[in-house]
Structure 1
Amino acid sequence: MTDPVYRLPPRRTGTALYGLTLAQLALAGTGLAGLAAATTLLPGRAGLLAGTATLATAVLLATVRVAGQPLHHLLPLLIRHALTRDRHRPTTAAGAARPAGSPRWLRGLDLLDAPTGQLPTTDGNPPMLIHHRRTGALTVVLDVRGGPFTLLDPADQHRHLAAWARLLAQTARDRSTLTFGWTLRTHHAPPPPLTPTSATRPHRAGSTRGAAGDAGQTPLASYRHLLADTLLQHHDLRLWITVNSHHARGRRPELAALDAAHALITRATTAGLTVHGALSTAQLSAEITAHTDPHRPSHPADGGPARTPNAPTRLPAGLAARAGLPGARDTPVPPAPEPPTFPTSSTSPASADAPSAEIEARWDAARVGATWHRVFHIAAWPTSPLHPGWLDPLLHETPTARTLTVAYTPIPPPTSRRRLNHDTAALDLALQIRHRHGVRIPTHLTDARDDIDQRDAELSAGHPELAYTALLDLASPDRQALDTATADLVDLAARAGITDLHPLHGRHQHALPAALPLGLTPRRPHPAT
């Protein structure tokens, strides 16, 4: 018996006319219409020049790409960023109190305390529901831990993937599910301070420091570099589900959302995940702070010395203790990041006077407090056959703190069938056009027929389709570190087969909330199986 082969379908872009998008065809039609109108309304050479300029401008807008982005997409972003950048800059002077109210990027959300006992929580507080004001939807966030997937045998990895596929299918069949997904935040453990050694002790007065003393610094620097390379990583996994409150069927929407979360817990447990419970309001508040401003220094109320939220409270006892091996000495316990003064019930989740509450927007980054963010969109996934651990480089090797969010949106079966019929007709038309004009047929069109047949068989067997999208957020203390981490991230993504990783320039302030475990997914996810 051969091992299963995993494939991710290509992104649905372009039309049958040589892969041109609707926007490109509309621009070309506008240019031709402008040429015809100019030559008709303006006499002589002036009309011809005006019409030619209109057509050339439309063609350039439709075909030219700048930094991987089509020009007709980039220009509206530039104009929008120039008009709205002042709205996303902090207006409160340093040291002044922030006016009461919610940050603009979280004003559409309310945190609700669910009845105690409906779902377990790790801190004993009532479970939390996120209420989306615009749609009325409710989101529940779960604290989840994965297993040692990388260490499993290939057969066990395939079984775990099959169990995860069942979780996706069962959740997608629930009519009340609007969207669901997972958010993985990875950050390094705090570096341990070293005890003084002979290489770092001060020399006594009158002693002569020779070349041997200077050479003692080289082993110490090498040891520090070794410790930095072996720092442990913390992976915080959150599984969340957003439920349509209008499908409560006469029940309270809160209870319907909790029932959907309970069903998701059962499916996740069956799939081999460990679910510790739902997040409470206080936990989500700390979660938002840890995601948006992990480099924020604390502000002691009693005038004590400021410290960073990741500073350890005790010296580490070594790699064994940091790895949690039995019999090792105590490990350092980093204090939890101090959350802003978030409300506890039925109010906006960010009405505090925290200095990191607002997002400062730049074209190529966004800053929250002392942390710089850059959000990427995985525009295309690998189309070649994949093995179970194909995403390991992107998951386990992180240049800096990063958050990976993957959101799934169930597609109704009638919509899936219409899309399948549309894709079949578009493929036949594209092949006919290329055969008629003697144009080479690209590989993705050659394999598209098999993909369509497989989709047809899966839909006929009752399997649902899911639209999905993925956002990846990098967080660094300064711009230089962010640029370095960006270059490393591009290399790691290429090792995983992801070569179409787009930074969302001009939209980082809007994409950052969508990368948090809040259920704020983009409106147009990637339609695929």
Structure 2
Amino acid sequence: MAASKNETVSELVPVKFSRLARRGVLLGLSLSQLITLAIGVLAIVGALYAGGGQLLAYTAPVWVLSAVLTWVPIAGRPVVEWLPVGCWWLWRTTIGQLIYRRRVVKPRPAGTLALPGDMARLREYEDPETGAGMIHDPHAGTLTAVCEVTHPAFVLLDPGEQERRVSSWGRVLATVCRSGRVATLQVLERTLPDSGTGLAEWWASHGADDGSWASTTYRELIDRAGPAGERHASTISLALDMGAAARQIRTAGGGMRGAAAVLRQEMATLTAALRAADLTPSGWLGTGQIAVILRSAYDPAIAATLERHGQLGQDLATAGPVAVNESWSRLRTDSAHHAVLWVSEWPRSMVYPGFLSPVLLSTGIQRAFSLLCTPLRSDQAARDIRKKKVEHISDMAQRQRIGQIEDAAQTAEYQDVLQQEADLTAGHGVLRYTGLIAVSAPTVDELDAAVAAIEQAAIQASCETRLLVGQQAAAFTAAALPLCRRI
């Protein structure tokens, strides 16, 4: 009996992700599709009542265009859903928001970040008690702190240890959901060119640098091979919702000092949960360390130099890019071209927890994988699930009334809702996930090759990815920067 119990514990349990909800407002049609469809129907009905067939021919451009906008897909989305993206892109092109050049002579205001676009509104705040650097977004009403985390290679652990760590990580996410004051939790895993400091430190502590031919050759090999390597860095960012925590902020003294005190409570809770999950938080990053991450994202060529010389780039006022050019499908910054992919569909079949290893362990590609988690309070999640159940049942009854056949995708979405309700009842947290992959390369050709390799790796991981066209600048800030940005 004991042997069978131990064998059960050591088994790695596969999991299944919920499908991306594609259910519309009515009969699978979204609100924008219903509006364009209504315009076409009104044009046809009005023409028939007013002038018959001749007027119907005159109004043909209206209802034909409505039909095209409603049902004709482009890249898997109806044409009408591309209109906001295209109009916003046209507006930004007209007013010159696709090009950013830093004003070197004109200094930035104190306490601001030298970042392009809407991130220019961000403010820095250094916590006097912990020394952690906090990023304040006055428009979104959030205060963000960043923690660096170290961990052993998950794929090298035995199945029993993997299953235990997965369960522990689930408890970490459930802890984040309980307070109701956390706006976003971001897990960022990025590849960096290794500066060789680790090899140099190992040689300084264990090597015998006695001037011999062997020691000289070994030291030269370390100097040459170190910067050519690659390492992985993981951070967890925690954003406090200052609106939801307004009462606690007033109790703590109000203002930024009170918000920092409330955020410290969430930071302490998250740190304890991470340690219970056998993850090692290396401490909350200061403003200088955050500045290095931002500078390395926009200027990857300088990343190894910043790591080798620890005192360079430790200022948020100079951490932003010098120049940014945004195009429809890519982004150009100081020393690299970037493209951001959205994980549009997670695995639909049962997969094991290490299913993302083809993407995360891809070699020779500089990329950043960002998982944005938006926690929902238990009462809010319960109301949302009840609303979805009512909508599914209503749509099901409507389809039966008009004789429309129920397809497997709609049934699977309803089963996902029931599974979420069961998980919530069992005490688990409910989060909304957004997966983003930012790929960087020195040239356009290398970028296209790297994007193709990541797309193939995502296929091996049973995921679907889509290039976020028309919004690459906003997507890059959400995917490559640990600031809990949303798109």
Q: Please, what TM-score do these two structures have when normalized by structure 1? A: 0.75
Percent of residue pairs identical: 24
Question: 1:452 — aligned with what?
Answer: 417
Residue in 2 that maps onto 1:28: 37
Map of 2:205 onto structure 1: none
Moved more, 46-55 or 277-286: 46-55
1:330-341 aligned at under 5 Å gives the runs 334-335=308-309, 338-339=312-313, 341=315
CA displacement at 1:435 relative to structure 2: 5.1
Alignment of 1:6-405 (within 5 A): 6-15=15-24, 17-39=26-48, 43=51, 47-85=55-93, 86-90=96-100, 97-101=104-108, 102-105=114-117, 106-116=119-129, 118=130, 126-189=131-194, 232-245=229-242, 246-249=246-249, 250-251=251-252, 252-295=258-301, 309-310=303-304, 334-335=308-309, 338-339=312-313, 341-342=315-316, 350=317, 352=318, 356-405=321-370
Q: Is the 8 A contact 1:356 1:370 kept in 2?
A: no
User: Separation in 2 of the partners of 1:30 and 1:358?
Assistant: 44
Any idea what SS the aligned residue of 1:457 has? helix
Match of 1:495 among 440, 453, 460: 460
Hey, which of these two has a bigger chunk of helix by percent? 2
Distance 1:247 1:377, change over 3 A: farther
1:129 alignment partner, SS class: strand
Cα pair 1:309 1:337 within 8 Å, conserved: no
The residue type equivalent to 1:108 in the other structure is: R
Q: Which amino acid aligns with 2:426?
A: A
Secondary structure at 2:59 match in 1: helix
2:22 maps to amino acid: T
TM value normalised by structure 2: 0.81
Give the whole-Å Cα distance in 2 for the aligned partners of 1:190 and 1:282: 18
Q: Which amino acid aligns with 2:259?
A: P
Residue aligning to 1:209: none
Query: Which of 405, 408, 433 is residue 468 of structure 1 equivalent to?
Result: 433
3-state SS of 1:387 partner: coil
| Contact 1:27-1:61 within 8 A present in 2 as well | yes
Is 2:479 the counterpart of 1:479?
A: no
Q: Counterparts of 1:55 and 1:156 in 2: how far apart (Å)?
A: 60
Aligned to 2:475: 511
* Structure 1 gaps, min length 5: 119-125, 192-226, 296-307, 313-332, 343-349, 523-529
Code of the residue aligned with 2:13 in structure 1: it is P
Q: Cα deviation per residue 1:44-82 (whole Å; 9 max; x = unaligned)?
A: 555312433212211211222223343223233223223
For the residues of structure 2 that align with 1:188 and 1:65, how far apart are their CA atoms? 41
Judged with a 3 Å threshold, the aligned counterparts in structure 2 of structure 1 residues 84 and 160 are, in CA distance, closer, same or farther, namely same
Residues 357 and 258 of structure 1: CA distance in aligned 2, closer, same or farther (over 3 Å): farther
- Offset, 1:150: 0.9
Q: Which amino acid aligns with 1:292?
A: Y
Match of 1:211 in 2: none
CA contact (8 A) 1:109 1:133 kept: yes
Contact 1:181 1:239 in 2 (8 A): yes
1:293–1:368 Cα contact (<8 Å) kept = yes
- 1:7 match: secondary structure: coil
Amino acid at match of 1:273: L
Separation in 1, partners of 2:402, 2:14? 35
Verify the 8 A CA contact 2:25 2:31 in the aligned structure 1.
no
Measure the CA separation in 2 of the matches of 1:28 and 1:281: 52
Summarize deviations over 1:127-157 as a string: whole Å, max 9, x none.
Answer: 1111111133211100111222111111110
The 10-residue stretch of structure 1 (47-56 or 154-163) with the greater mean CA deviation from structure 2:
47-56
- With 62-71 and 377-386 compared, the bigger mean Cα shift is at 62-71
AA matched with 1:411: L
Q: Distance in 1 between matches of 2:472 and 2:15?
A: 32
How many residues align? The count is 432
C-alpha displacement at 1:100, in angstroms?
A: 3.0
CA deviation string 1:338-359 (max 9, x = no partner)? 52853xxxxxxx4x4x782443
Deviates more, 1:433-442 or 1:487-496: 433-442
Letter of the 2:441 partner, please give it: S
Give the counterpart letter for 2:429 in structure 1. P
Cα offsets for 1:156-212 (capped at 9, x unmatched) = 101000000000001110122111121111134479xxxxxxxxxxxxxxxxxxxxx
Distance, in Å, in 2 between the alignment partners of 1:371 and 1:337 is 23
CA contact (8 A) 1:309 1:338 kept: no
Q: Cα–Cα, structure 1 residues 139 and 446, in superposed 2: closer, same or farther, change >3 Å? A: same
Bigger-Rg structure (1/2): 1
Question: 1:91 and 1:521 mapped to 2: Cα distance?
Answer: 23
* Alignment-mate amino acid for residue 141 of structure 2: G
Q: Is the 8 Å Cα contact of residues 337 and 443 (structure 2) preserved in structure 1?
A: yes
Query: Matched residues in 2 for 1:241 and 1:514: separation?
Result: 14
> Within 1, Cα distance between the matches of 2:40 and 2:309?
61
Runs ≥4 residues deviating over 6 A: none
Q: Displacement, 1:98?
A: 4.9
| Cα offset, 1:398, TM superposition | 4.4
